[in-house]
């Protein structure tokens, strides 16, 4: 459950330790965390629930390695819109494209900037063809990632 207000949440040293351990491995047992931070498992559980309620911890999920399941091309695509009013409709359409894993409303050249995972360049061409048919999209600009040098969560 998330806290509905957008106020900052104060993280003490124990909260940070708990968060870092969960970021390293979301399956870390409460007992292991408790032994490392020096509090009871009940206290760890209560702190995690408070962090979830405050919206500090949004979810605990495992991520797939796209390359291991055949998605070897990572690309970033800037989308130009003919009118800003088409933004909501384009985002709705993007949500229907499974290969689109991130979408951002941006300042600068592009109205929308997306991250797309594809099996190969032919697959990417199919996705681009689909995107360019969306109502309001005037053109796209594509960048293919050759290597992801940094992949991490924000440490506080």
pLDDT in 10s for each residue of the chain, 156 residues: 344 455 688 999 999 999 989 888 888 999 999 999 999 999 999 999 999 999 898 877 767 789 989 999 999 999 999 999 999 999 999 999 999 999 999 999 999 999 999 999 999 999 999 999 999 999 999 999 999 999 888 888
d(CA 14, CA 111): 40
For the chain, state the CA radius of gyration. 20
Q: Which helix (H) or strand (E) holds 115?
A: strand 112-118
d(CA 147, CA 151): 11
Q: Output the pLDDT for position 4.
A: 45
Query: What's the pTM value of the predicted model, to 2 decimals?
Result: 0.76
Contact 112, 94 (CB under 8 A): yes
For residue 81, give Cα distances in angstroms to 57, 78, 89, 142, 152.
Answer: 34, 10, 11, 15, 31
Please give the structure tokens belonging to residue 41: 């498992």
What structural domains and CATH numbers belong to the chain? 13-54 (1.10.10.10), 66-145 (3.30.70.920)
């Amino acid at each position: 459950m998330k806290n509905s207000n957008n106020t900052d949440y104060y993280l003490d040293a124990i909260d940070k330790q708990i968060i870092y351990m969960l970021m390293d491995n979301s399956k870390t047992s409460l007992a292991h965390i408790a032994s490392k931070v020096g509090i009871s498992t009940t206290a760890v559980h209560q702190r995690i629930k408070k962090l979830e309620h405050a919206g500090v911890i949004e979810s605990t999920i495992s991520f797939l390695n796209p390359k291991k399941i055949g998605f070897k091309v990572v690309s970033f695509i800037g989308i130009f819109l003919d009118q800003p009013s088409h933004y909501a409709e384009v985002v709705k359409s993007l949500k229907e494209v499974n290969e689109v894993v991130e979408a951002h409303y941006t300042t600068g050249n592009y109205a929308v900037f997306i991250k797309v995972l594809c099996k190969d360049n032919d697959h990417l061409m199919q996705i681009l063809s689909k995107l360019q048919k969306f109502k309001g999209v005037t053109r796209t600009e594509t960048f293919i990632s050759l290597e992801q040098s940094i992949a991490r969560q924000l440490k506080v």
